[in-house]
Structure 1
Amino acid sequence: MIREDGEVTASGKETAVYAAGGVVWRRVDGKLRVLIIHRTKYRDLTLPKGKVDPGETLAETAVREIREETGIRVALGVPVGVSRYRMPNSRTKIVHYWAAEATDAAVRTSSFVPNKEVAAIEWMSLKKARKHLSYPVDIEILDEFTRIVEEDALPTFPIVVLRHGKALSRDDWDGADGARPLTPRGRRQAASIVGPLLAFGVRRVYSSPAERCVRTATPIAQALGQRLHLCPEISQDAWEDGRADARTVVGQRVRARKPVVLTSHGPVLPDILHELALATGTMSGSYLGSASALSPGAFSVVHVPVEHPGAGIVAIETHEPRV
């Protein structure tokens, strides 16, 4: 069994050490700059990152570590790669990276002061950063980020497609299907996805009116201090009756260009992903099937360019529930 915290498994064997971080970026006078940290102990220049804490997801780790090392609060954008390297103790370290825009407000309110781990932070051009980064694995991540920049794909906004948590089976429920509740595990899943969804900066939450979807979406809506928007058009009842209208819901969300969660049902998810591809001018492919084949409580993050949504989906990533 692989554990993101890199601890010893039940078999007694050590796993890889998992970590996460980001390429933090901003534009200054129209010029793109990325944030590089000068580490105190190692006297090197690297990208902000750190090890997963127990109970964290990689996305949560990336946001936390970026804030701890740079003082800047960010939301994650597109994934920009995974680095793997051998540590001095011979264990493998696996680090997941995302692009993360530093807004002007976040930079103004940065809490960074030099400390025993990070001596300084420095905004650099892509060219200068590539020249001064201390490690080839960091340069590879920066090169992937540069490719996305050159495609004019930044900034992006996420449309998160979420499948409801584990629900009571139809065989064990005598009422209407739309009233079928979450199981205790489903309720735990609903609580556990709040942190990861916040890491992607979601702002609004939409849901099928079915009880199992509403109860899955309610914790993240409450965490945002937002009301939950109900969408009968993406309910399973509507899908089974031929009344579903994922196209309208998806089209509205793409036009809005705001980070959002769409909570729905397993049979409806392929239609939602298909409409997202159509609405963004993205070529269809097997990746759509993978992104929509979600287990209960899992979600896929669809990253869409803010300035040119019709230029196509930049990336899709899928996250499984922790419980």
Structure 2
Amino acid sequence: MTVFAAGAVVWRIVEGKVLVLVIHRSAHRDVSLPKGKVDPGETLPQTAVREISEETGLAVTLGVPLGMTNYTMPNGREKTVHYWAAEATDDAVRSSTFLPGDEVAALEWLSVRKACGALTYERDAEIVERFGMLVDDGVTRTFAIIALRHAKATPPYQFAGRDADRPLTERGLGEAKSIVPSLLAFSPEKIVTSSAKRCRQTVEPFAKLLRLEPKVTDRISQDAYEDGTSDVRAVVGKRVRKRVTTVLCSHGPVLPDIVREVALATGTAPAATLSRAGDLPVAGFSVLHLSVDRPGSGIVAIETHVPQ
């Protein structure tokens, strides 16, 4: 049975230079990237943020996904580790609670080149090299547009009122809560939701936790989409210009338009990954990573998460 884990290339800028964090592990006597195994009920993004906090004392936000490594552990089991880039802000570094211990003896900030040379395992160095490509391209700092489909709603044939008033089912209410930890890993600062009740209910648990007041709009509602009065372009364009990570909660028929408009706003060439990013199950979401410094350089990466 495969063991799944998650971690990150944690980075910061010091005197204009990008530095990468490596950890010196006591028990393993190696130099590695911060990572750890998925706990029962956790999602991969949730695991990455938790493990970084536990091993380094740093609170981070996940950025661009950097892929995964696969290898066989000494006990013969296969292990798959998913990685992201994750910036450590100055505030996070100042607030770090790290103390040397039995698991991690020391933290060390190194240039990308020196980090690749210091890491014990070639597979870790390859992940850092992928991050180095982002540095070379000038797209290290990112924000995200998160396209979220509402959770499971009461079917139309079981509801006598307006379609926009259809509520979430019990399953849907559970899904709305279950996606919160994954969304938290990307630290959204803004929530924009369709005016339909099923969308408003989907973002409610997350909005309450972060004390964010969702922006409710008809512009990305299904009713407006079907009668030709929607304005996805205006909503997406504003969010891209603001360069702030934002959740856009909408409907199955509207989400492909949201993804398409993000691509158009950022000069992204059409690709199969774009259509897949908009084809989401209920309570699924796609994270479209964009460059803070060069938002017109295209979508840097796309990742999709669905309820477990």
TM over 0.5: yes
Task: Give the structure 2 partner of residue 237 of structure 1.
Answer: 223
In 1, Cα distance between the equivalents of 2:39 and 2:92? 24
Task: Give the structure 1 partner of residue 185 of structure 2.
Answer: 199
SS of the residue corresponding to residue 86 of structure 2 reads strand
Task: Give the structure 2 partner of residue 279 of structure 1.
Answer: 265
Task: Give the structure 2 partner of residue 70 of structure 1.
Answer: 56
Alpha-carbon distance, 1:92 to partner: 0.5
Alpha-carbon distance, 1:203 to partner: 1.2
Amino acid at match of 1:148: L
Alpha-carbon distance, 1:90 to partner: 0.9
% identical equivalent positions? 55
Give 1:171-190 correspondences, 5 Å limit.
171-190=157-176
Question: Comparing both structures, which one devotes a greater share of its residues to strand?
Answer: 2
SS of the residue corresponding to residue 53 of structure 2 reads helix
SS of the residue corresponding to residue 60 of structure 2 reads coil
In 2, Cα distance between the equivalents of 1:104 and 1:84? 32
CA RMSD between the two structures: 0.6
In 2, Cα distance between the equivalents of 1:130 and 1:286? 32
TM-score (norm 1): 0.95
SS of the residue corresponding to residue 144 of structure 1 reads helix
1:66-103: CA deviation from partner (whole Å, max 9, x where unpaired):
01111000000000110000001111000000000000
SS of the residue corresponding to residue 191 of structure 2 reads strand
Task: Give the structure 1 partner of residue 39 of structure 2.
Answer: 53
- Structure 1 stretches of 4+ with a deviation exceeding 3 A read none
Contact 1:53-1:61 at 8 Å conserved across structures: yes
Is residue 221 of structure 1 aligned with residue 207 of structure 2?
Answer: yes
Is residue 116 of structure 1 aligned with residue 134 of structure 2?
Answer: no
SS of the residue corresponding to residue 295 of structure 1 reads coil
In 1, Cα distance between the equivalents of 2:214 and 2:233? 20
Task: Give the structure 1 partner of residue 142 of structure 2.
Answer: 156
1:109-141: CA deviation from partner (whole Å, max 9, x where unpaired):
000000110000000011111111000110111
Amino acid at match of 2:25: R
In 1, Cα distance between the equivalents of 2:189 and 2:78? 36
Amino acid at match of 2:84: W
1:187-235: CA deviation from partner (whole Å, max 9, x where unpaired):
0010011111010111111100100000001111111111111021000
Aligned residues: 308
Alpha-carbon distance, 1:158 to partner: 1.1
Could you tell me which runs of 5 or more consecutive residues in structure 1 were left unpaired when the two chains were aligned. 1-14
Contact 1:163-1:295 at 8 Å conserved across structures: yes
Select 1:264's aligned residue among 235, 241, 250.
Answer: 250
